[in-house]
Homo-oligomer: A and B are copies of this chain.
Amino acid sequence: MAGVEAALERLGLTLPAVVPPVAAYQPAVRSGDYVYVSGQLPMVGGELAATGKVGAEVDVERAYELARICALNGIAAIASIADLDEVARIVKVTGFVASAPGFIEQPKVINGASELLGDVFAEAREADGRRSGEAGRHARSAVGVAELPLGAPVEVDLVAELRPTAKMRLV
């Protein structure tokens, strides 16, 4: 058993159902060999796993876990329109952290997303042999914002590059 879904399983992760957009857009869009993933909130089973500001109601360890959930939802969004094993690399991650005044550890929070993406795609490569060791290593911006939709503490969007030969999944 190989590939990204197997890697998720070995890491003890279950790919969730894709989170329906809160509004008039798509969870993910393919353009050429790229997938643009919409801002993902830490939704679990249709509800936010937490609300509040990081540095106040939500501590940095919990926020790290929430960023992992955002990234997992992002992988689910990619899977809704493409074959995960055709992901050549995660190119860019942008992490928005709803920050209490004076909270400046946004990088530690968004590491939850970065490390999950690194783990999942590195695991897939080891079992698979096809995948570049760079698949999960991405450029990133992390910033502290005033408020996020529904009161979410974290929002993460990303851009993934597919192999040139990747076919669209028929849906």
Per the 8 Å Cβ criterion, residues 115-155 of A in contact with B are 115, 118, 137-151, 155
- Selected contact of A24 from candidates B91, B104, B111, CB within 8 Å: B111
Interface size on A, residues (CB 8 A): 58
Residues of B within 8 A of A94 (CB): 141
- Selected contact of A138 from candidates B29, B101, B103, B106, CB within 8 Å: B29
Residues of B within 8 A of A161 (CB): 31-32
One complex includes copies of this chain to the number of 3
* Cα–Cα, bound, A94→B98 (Å): 16
A residues engaging B (CB < 8 A)? Answer: 21-29, 31-34, 36-39, 89, 91-94, 96-99, 101-108, 110-111, 114-115, 118, 137-151, 155, 157, 159, 161
